[in-house]
């Protein structure tokens, strides 16, 4: 039978000012942060992706290709690339991977090919999927690849 062990002597603990602790405790848990690199503002696929992300308690942020240099990659649990936006997709994936080696990158393509899938996966993507309007397919792809990152103060 297990019994707790009692340690004698001083105990150490880290503490923070009560105002900071209260502020942290009052905030709701952060949702999954998903970044989509896409050049279009409106599309049926984008709507389907937003519905799937919201089902996972996800906050989907959409950024155009021009803003790629200014992104803080560590802020996102999952990065989604639209293959039709980038002319050199493997280089883009490699560049993102160089900025954040732990980035979880998924590429969606309307016309997937084995050659492109191989190049993208070798460049550092963790998945390569077909663009679909089927909510369940998108949801399963996101679930399979989504890993919530710990906040910076816990790393």
Average pLDDT, the chain: 81
pLDDT of residue 42: 67
What domains are defined for the chain? 30-148 (3.40.50.2300)
Would you say 36 and 49 are in contact if contact means Cβ atoms under 8 Å apart?
yes
What pTM was estimated for this model as a whole? 0.75
Residue 84 to residue 73: CA distance in whole angstroms: 21
Phi, psi angle pair for 16, to nearest 5°: -130, 160
What six digits make up the tokens of 65? 């290709």
Would you say 106 and 121 are in contact if contact means Cβ atoms under 8 Å apart?
no
> Tens digits of per-residue pLDDT, 36-53?
998 776 689 899 999 999
pLDDT of residue 89 exceeding 90, the answer is: yes
């Amino acid at each position: 039978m297990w019994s707790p062990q009692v340690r004698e002597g001083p105990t150490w603990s880290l503490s923070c000012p009560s105002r900071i602790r209260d502020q942290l405790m009052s905030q709701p848990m952060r949702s999954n942060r998903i970044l989509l690199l896409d050049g279009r503002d409106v599309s049926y696929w984008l709507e389907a992706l937003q519905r799937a992300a919201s089902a996972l308690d996800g906050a989907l942020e959409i950024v155009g290709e021009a803003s790629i240099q200014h992104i803080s990659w560590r802020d996102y649990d999952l990065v989604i690339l639209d293959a039709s936006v980038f002319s050199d997709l493997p280089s883009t994936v490699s560049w993102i991977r160089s900025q954040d080696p732990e980035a979880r990158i998924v590429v969606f393509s309307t016309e997937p090919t084995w050659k492109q899938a191989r190049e993208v996966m070798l460049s550092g993507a963790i998945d390569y999927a077909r663009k679909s309007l089927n909510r369940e397919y998108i949801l399963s792809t996101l679930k399979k690849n989504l890993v919530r990152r710990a906040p910076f103060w816990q790393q």
